[in-house]
Amino acid sequence: MRYDVSVIGLGRIGLPLALSFADSGLSVLGVDTDQNRLQAIRERRMPFKEPGTDELIARVQLDATSHAAEAAQARAIVLTLGTPAMSHIEIDIRDIRTVLDDLLPHLVEDQLIVLRSTVAPGTTEFVAGYLEKHRSFTVGENLFVAHVPERIAADKFMEEIHSLPCIVGGVGEASGERAGQLFEPLGAPIVQTSPVQAELAKIWTNILRYATFALPNLLMMDCERHGANVFDVIELINRDYPRGGIKMPGLTAGTCLRKDFAFSEERSSAPGMLLAVSRVHETVPLFLVDGVKRRLAGTLREKRVAVLGLAFKADTDDERDSLSHKLIRLLERELADVSVHDPIVATPTSSFEDAVTGADVVVVATNHSAYSTPQALRTIAELAPEALIVDPWNALGTAQVFAYVAEVAALRA
């Protein structure tokens, strides 16, 4: 074998993992069909933001190719492919099946196949059975298959890859041992379990966060209905109370949180429960738009609205499944004139000053740290003194979801 490990899929999960393997002394081949991404890797520059990886990609050796079949040159093959949810509440594993079909003619005995992608319960066993069905392997004896789920937060890869417990769900004890040996050089504790328990642990990690964040968003809507301040209510709930701990509201989204509930809902004993959680989050943009309309005499037609932030999470450049885009579409359907600023994403946006100048409404859609500064609030006050500020994150420190610039106490100090 020419390589110790190949990583198929060099996105936000796969590329940092491939670099970490290389940094631990393994010979690594990366595979991706995105030619722009491959070109960036060959030029030793990161195609996206992930703290700590710029130095790593400039230093380590990582070969790259666009042909999945070449991944079979490695003793271990790690799949970090997208697994979206279909419209019928069903996992879409077409990318995984396509890669397996590409690999099938080239696999040899004693190789390890690792699913790093987030998958529905039973998918790892499906992969093992698929390989046995089409190539007469016996998984656990002469071919090894495991699910090693990725649970790392955006912008924290280089910190958490070495510290978060590494869950390993092998199809048979030998598969678990092989997968554990592959990830052991990264330094995180290895936790052996079954494939289905590894699958459930991953999707329910995200479901827990998605449900946890739904509660303050629902509370925010309830407070609007009753004329209460959500930030005051949250402070009352949490203050010196041993069973408090409710989170803050916001436009909770992102690829993992928005889709992973569907992998459980696919065969749920409580159909609709998690769909209701999703519905809470998905209605936040509409809630904000309706709240603005109520405060602006019922119309946004030709009103200038500045939307601050396109990423789904603070200080990341990841726009995948961000609710900012839904918010912008809803504003445009109200015939508002929308300007956008984001200091980090690759999508071209206006400067902060251009976005907010003359704005009737300023919406903080992403709680980037750049917005949580006194200067950001002062700039809005100078360039849009009559604006309505909409800040469900409380990033600007207005302590209100809806607040007119003139009403903000910090500006009057």
Structure tokens at 310: 């396109």
140-197 confidence digits (pLDDT tens): 999 999 999 999 988 899 999 999 999 999 999 999 999 999 999 999 999 999 999 9
Out of 193, 210, 243, pick the residue that ends a domain.
193
Predicted local distance difference test score (pLDDT) of residue 22? 98
**Number of domains into which the chain is organized:** 2
Contact 367, 395 (CB under 8 A): yes
Whose tokens are 């990582």? That residue is 62
Separation between Cα atoms, residue 2 and residue 5, nearest integer Å: 9
Which residues have CB under 8 Å from 129's CB, separation 6+? 139
164 and 308 together in one domain: no
Predicted local distance difference test score (pLDDT) of residue 269? 75
258: confidence class by pLDDT, cuts 50, 70, 90: confident
Which CATH number belongs to the domain containing residue 170 in this structure? 3.40.50.720
Closest by CA position to 154, among listed 313, 330, 375: 313
- Residue 382, domain member (yes or no): yes
- Residue 301, domain member (yes or no): yes
Mean pLDDT of 20-35: 98
- Residue 103, domain member (yes or no): yes
Predicted local distance difference test score (pLDDT) of residue 413? 54
CA 206 to chain centroid: 10
348: confidence class by pLDDT, cuts 50, 70, 90: very high
Predicted local distance difference test score (pLDDT) of residue 72? 97
Residue 289 has pLDDT above 60, yes or no: yes
Predicted local distance difference test score (pLDDT) of residue 86? 66
- Residue 249, domain member (yes or no): no
Closest by CA position to 150, among listed 260, 51, 49: 260
Q: How many residues does the chain have?
A: 413
Mean pLDDT of 240-248: 91
Residue 108 has pLDDT above 90, yes or no: yes
Predicted local distance difference test score (pLDDT) of residue 166? 98
Out of 168, 193, 218, pick the residue that ends a domain.
193
- Residue 335, domain member (yes or no): yes
167 and 288 together in one domain: no
255: confidence class by pLDDT, cuts 50, 70, 90: confident
Mean pLDDT of 72-81: 97
- Residue 275, domain member (yes or no): no
- Can you say whether the dihedral through the CA atoms of 216, 220, 223, 227 is positive or negative? positive
Contact 146, 175 (CB under 8 A): yes
Residue 268 has pLDDT above 80, yes or no: no
Which residues have CB under 8 Å from 342's CB, separation 6+? 308, 309, 310, 311, 349, 366, 368
410: confidence class by pLDDT, cuts 50, 70, 90: low
Mean pLDDT of 22-47: 97
Which residues have CB under 8 Å from 299's CB, separation 6+? 293, 334
Q: Percentage of the chain with pLDDT > 90?
A: 86
Predicted local distance difference test score (pLDDT) of residue 350? 98
Which residues have CB under 8 Å from 81's CB, separation 6+? 8, 9, 95, 96, 99, 117
Q: Percentage of the chain with pLDDT > 70?
A: 98
Out of 160, 193, 226, pick the residue that ends a domain.
193
11 and 150 together in one domain: yes
- Residue 356, domain member (yes or no): yes
What are the DSSP calls for 227-244, one per residue?
A: T--HHHHHHHHHTT-TT-
Predicted local distance difference test score (pLDDT) of residue 261? 73
Between 262 and 40, whose confidence is greater? 40
Q: Which domain holds residue 47?
A: 3-193
Mean pLDDT of 74-93: 84
Q: How many helices (H) and strands (E) does the chain have?
A: 16, 15
Between 362 and 86, whose confidence is greater? 362
Residue 116 has pLDDT above 80, yes or no: yes
- Residue 238, domain member (yes or no): no
49 and 172 together in one domain: yes
Contact 323, 217 (CB under 8 A): no
Residue 244 has pLDDT above 90, yes or no: no
Task: Report the range of poorest mean pLDDT among 87-101, 169-183, 344-358.
Answer: 87-101
178 and 53 together in one domain: yes
- Can you say whether the dihedral through the CA atoms of 188, 191, 195, 201 is positive or negative? negative
Structure tokens at 72: 């079979």
156 and 44 together in one domain: yes
Between 311 and 410, whose confidence is greater? 311
